[in-house]
Amino acid sequence: MRTKFSLLLCLSVLVWGCKKESVTTSQPTKTQLLTNNSWQVQEIVQQAGNSQGRYVKGGINTTGADYSKVKLKFNPDGTGSFTDPLAHTYTLTWAFAAGDEARMTVTVNYPTPVLLNYTFVSIDENNFIYTTYFTDSGQNAMSTDHFIPL
């Protein structure tokens, strides 16, 4: 009996004494996800005044612009670049809103800089999606843009 009890006690100590090591993996921050890639347009849905348009990479284009040339690059230091539909590249600055990474501002340094407010920002390893509102040729405009890694 004593032998069985000793054996059970030893097994109990072994089982309870062996702790499973917890492995923690850190998730990338939104800044890391945004700055790890250059981005190209997958889809754009836009409305300017009473006009609507849609661009889908390799498919539909009712926008009047060649979005296949559009590229975005964000650097960790808040700078980056924007290539427009005419393949002209401009520098930009960007920042998430304080305490709210679902909103960000982007200033594209055209000859006259343009401030863009991105809302509903969603970023993961394969997608960068946002909605922005702006004025285009004196008309209010809104666009939801979906970018994928280049």
Instruction: Report the CATH number at residue 82.
Output: 2.40.128.540
Asked if the structure places residue 82 within a domain, the reply is yes
Structure tokens at 112: 């006259």
Cα separation, 92 vs 149, in Å, equals 18
Residue 80 binned pLDDT confidence (cut-offs 50, 70, 90): very high
Contact 62, 54 (CB under 8 A): yes
Torsion of Cα atoms, 41 then 43 then 47 then 48, to 10° = 20
Does residue 17 register a pLDDT over 90?
A: no
Does residue 115 register a pLDDT over 60?
A: yes
Q: Which residue has the higher pLDDT, 42 or 20?
A: 42
Does residue 69 register a pLDDT over 80?
A: yes
Asked if the structure places residue 54 within a domain, the reply is yes
Q: Which residue has the higher pLDDT, 18 or 132?
A: 132
Mean per-residue pLDDT, 80-92: 97
Instruction: State how many domains the chain has.
Output: 1
Q: What is the pLDDT of residue 19?
A: 55
Q: What is the pLDDT of residue 119?
A: 96
Contacts with 93 (C-beta within 8 Å, 6 or more apart), sequence order = 78, 79, 80, 106, 107, 109
Pick the range with the lowest mean pLDDT from 5-19, 30-44, 136-150: 5-19
State the residue range of the domain holding 131: 25-149
Asked if the structure places residue 108 within a domain, the reply is yes
Residue 20 binned pLDDT confidence (cut-offs 50, 70, 90): low
Going through the chain in order, the beta strands assigned E by DSSP cover: 38-48, 51-56, 71-74, 79-83, 89-97, 100-108, 114-124, 127-136, 139-149
Q: What is the pLDDT of residue 21?
A: 63
Does residue 15 register a pLDDT over 50?
A: no
Asked if the structure places residue 60 within a domain, the reply is yes
Asked if the structure places residue 2 within a domain, the reply is no
